[in-house]
Structure 1
Amino acid sequence: MSSTNKFDLANLKEALSSVDDINARVKKRIELENLGHGITPHLAQDGSDFNLWYHSLSNLIDGLYDIDTYFSKASDDHDKSRDRAIQIFICKSIHQELLSYTEGLHSARSNFQSLQKRFQHKSWSQVMVILNWILNLNCEP
């Protein structure tokens, strides 16, 4: 076998290794996106289901990574792979119109905090329950 053929074979093996690495990354990304899509309920555009969405997201994170207080930590996650996975979970489990709240943010924690700031203290479902209760009061003297 000539040295040219050996060189070509080495290059081919290196290229195939790179392709395998890319395939593994794509497969992992698809798996993470599917997990994110599986979070129910998805965060509604008006944020009315924020608390339910938050608990579903937290349960997924706790189940996969055994971290039950991920978003209450004082700092961002130093495990970049895990942080990126959780960013994918967030972005794939929210209404498309809410993606603007996550644009340009570089950690799962900052993505979550942006949505939390917008919706957590304005639970429309709670407002509707109270409004319904008020409207159904029997106002007889």
Structure 2
Amino acid sequence: MSSPSPTPSRSSTPNPNTIPDSATHAPDIPLTLASSIILTSLPRSAASALQTALDFPNPKVAVHFKAVGSAPTLRKQVCSISSAQRFEVVVAYLRRVLKVGEGESVFLYVNSSFAPALDEVVGNLHRCFKDSKDQLIVTYSMTPAFG
């Protein structure tokens, strides 16, 4: 013989240990662009990242010029430039100060390691490669150096 098992009584009051569902709030789930074949708009996380991509903490950054090899040394080695300027402005400034002719070359490197593209934003270079003195180190030479 089997005895009847007690059935739990179902009450209309919710269990205090459960989290109530909210129908008014959609979850804020970050999506990558590869998550969907077709996206009608950018995900919230990507849109907010793009809005702040060109915001720099300082409107101007310090650029420290260092001569390499037989390149002439500048009198004023540290200059400031707007964070939003492109690296081509730094090249044009250095060519003007060194009085480099149109047929001559000057080679610029960041941290003595790589030559950035002319359309690279100075603020991005500063953000990624500044030194402990909060300066962007730009070495320059009249002949190719550093590979």
TM-score, normalized by the shorter chain, greater than 0.5: no
As a proportion of its length, which structure holds more helix? 1
Q: Which has the higher contact order (CA 8 A, sep 6+)?
A: 1
State TM-score, norm by structure 2. Answer: 0.26
Indicate the structure (1 or 2) with the bigger Cα radius of gyration: 2
State TM-score, norm by structure 1. Answer: 0.27
